[in-house]
Amino acid sequence: MSKIPVVERIMSQHDRVAIRNRALLDARGVHAINVMASPGAGKTCFILATAERLGNRLRLGVIEGDLASSVDADKVRAVGLPAVQINTGGNCHLDAIQVGQALAQLPLEEMDLLFIENVGNLVCPATFALGEHTRLAISSIPEGDDKPFKYPFIFANVDVLILNKMDLLPYIPFDVEAFYRTVRGLNPDIAIFPVSCVTGEGLDAWVEWLLQRVQRP
Amino acid sequence: MHELAVTESIVEIVCRHAERAKAKRIRRIYLVIGDLSSIVDDSVQFYFDFVSQDTLAQGAELVFRRIPVELVCEACGHRWNPPDADWVCPACGERRGRVLAGREFYVESIEVDT
């Protein structure tokens, strides 16, 4: 019996595909955002609200990841945005291979910004790089302020966090300051935007940040 | 259940290295996994038993080396292992911990019959 040193990152093959996706996006001048959150946090509503606020300042496209159905892609297409639905058929996350196939179906030359809406899940999507430039998580008030304790990996590994459904704050016990403290403890550089996609509260500040990030040379 | 994809990746890596070494079979697989990686050992083992079927890795033993999260406080330089996700420096009370360890996620080595 002999020992062979390997020292190879488990995700190395997968991440190679993600790097290829990233190179394609860069060549077409498209900034991609990987949107991760639990089911019902408001991912699709947030993408649509962002699109509305952006108006014609950026040209958008969307990849929708779900276990099944084209409900989300239909909603996005209904407002005139190009959208590709990926059905993972039971898989709990999008992977770079699926996203690569979806990229081939989008008019990248006519886009500046791509939202990749991941499968609703706070665990698995964080492990799989897709080729994105920005990693975004959404938490929402009804989920409770303890989520960073339960799912630290995702909060420690995103660039920006949206705290959605702020309009429900009067009705639900949620310690916003304690929540921010825990999240910033896990991720000192994170940008956090409290918003409501129903009232529009907070969306202007988020869109300003987004425009700066996308247009940064 | 992303452990399925992760396990397929592990089997691909170890079989590639074993073939390159012209090994007859893989006996043991040494994995290094940081506690910040959301991977459940038992789940990897469960998937491994059928993903590895009819490969050089069939029947191999998985050996997990878990790396605890280690932080360094950017305010005072203190190093500590946080017991939970409330990353408060026990020395100075600041929340400016940088991750030194805990993100590891790789195949370290394999033992093979040649």
Residue spans per domain, chain A = 6-213
Specify whether the CB–CB gap between B38 and A127 falls below 8 A: yes
- Chain B from 39 to 98: CB within 8 A of any A CB: 39, 74, 84-88, 95-98
Q: Tokens representing A135?
A: 């990693």
Find how far residue B97's CA is from the centre of its chain: 22
pLDDT higher than 90, residue A124: no
Instruction: Report the first-to-last Cα separation within chain A, whole angstroms.
Output: 54
Q: Which pLDDT score is estimated for A97?
A: 94
Q: Which residues of B touch A5 (CB under 8 A)?
A: 108-109
pLDDT 10s digits, A15-59: 999 999 999 999 999 999 999 999 999 999 999 999 999 999 999
Beta strands in chain A (DSSP E): 2-9, 31-37, 60-66, 83-87, 113-117, 134-140, 160-164, 191-194
* Mean pLDDT rounded to a whole number for chain A: 95
Chain A: residue nearest B9 by CA? A10
Q: Which pLDDT score is estimated for A126?
A: 87
Q: Which pLDDT score is estimated for A28?
A: 97
pLDDT higher than 80, residue B1: no
Percent pLDDT > 90 in chain B is 82
Percent pLDDT > 70 in chain A is 99
- Residue B111 pairs in a beta bridge with A3, B28
* Mean pLDDT rounded to a whole number for chain B: 94
Specify whether the CB–CB gap between B39 and B1 falls below 8 A: no
State the pLDDT confidence band at A200, using cuts at 50, 70 and 90: very high
Specify whether the CB–CB gap between A92 and A123 falls below 8 A: yes
Q: Which pLDDT score is estimated for A138?
A: 98
Q: Which residues of A84-109 are buried (b: 16+ CB within 10 A; e: fewer)?
A: bbbbbeebbbbbbebbbebbeebebe
- ipTM (interface pTM): 0.86
Predicted TM-score (pTM) of the model is 0.91
Span B31-53, mean pLDDT? 91
- Distance CA(A216)–CA(A28), nearest Å, equals 15
- Distance CA(A187)–CA(B70), nearest Å, equals 14
pLDDT higher for B41 or B62? B62
CATH match for A6-213 among 3.40.50.300, 3.30.70.120, 3.40.50.720, 3.40.50.20: 3.40.50.300
pLDDT higher than 90, residue A84: yes
Q: Which residues of B touch A13 (CB under 8 A)?
A: 9, 12-13
Identity of residue B105 = F
Find how far residue B12's CA is from the centre of its chain: 15
CA distances from B62 to A122, B27, B49, B55 (A): 27, 9, 10, 15
Find how far residue A102's CA is from the centre of its chain: 16
Indicate which of B7, B9, B20, B71 best probes the interface with A, i.e. most A CBs within 10 Å of its own CB: B9
pLDDT 10s digits, B51-104: 999 999 999 999 999 999 999 999 999 999 999 888 999 999 999 899 999 999
pLDDT higher than 90, residue A92: no
B114/A contact by beta carbon, under 8 A: yes
Q: Which pLDDT score is estimated for A1?
A: 83
pLDDT 10s digits, A141-194: 999 999 998 888 899 999 999 999 999 999 999 999 999 999 999 999 999 999
State the pLDDT confidence band at A127, using cuts at 50, 70 and 90: confident
pLDDT higher than 60, residue A217: no
Chain B: residue nearest A186 by CA? B87
Q: Which pLDDT score is estimated for A46?
A: 98
State the pLDDT confidence band at A216, using cuts at 50, 70 and 90: low
For residue A63, give every residue at least 6 positions away whose Cβ sits within 8 Å of its Cβ, in sequence order, or none. A83, A84, A86, A94, A99, A102, A103, A106, A114, A115, A116, A117
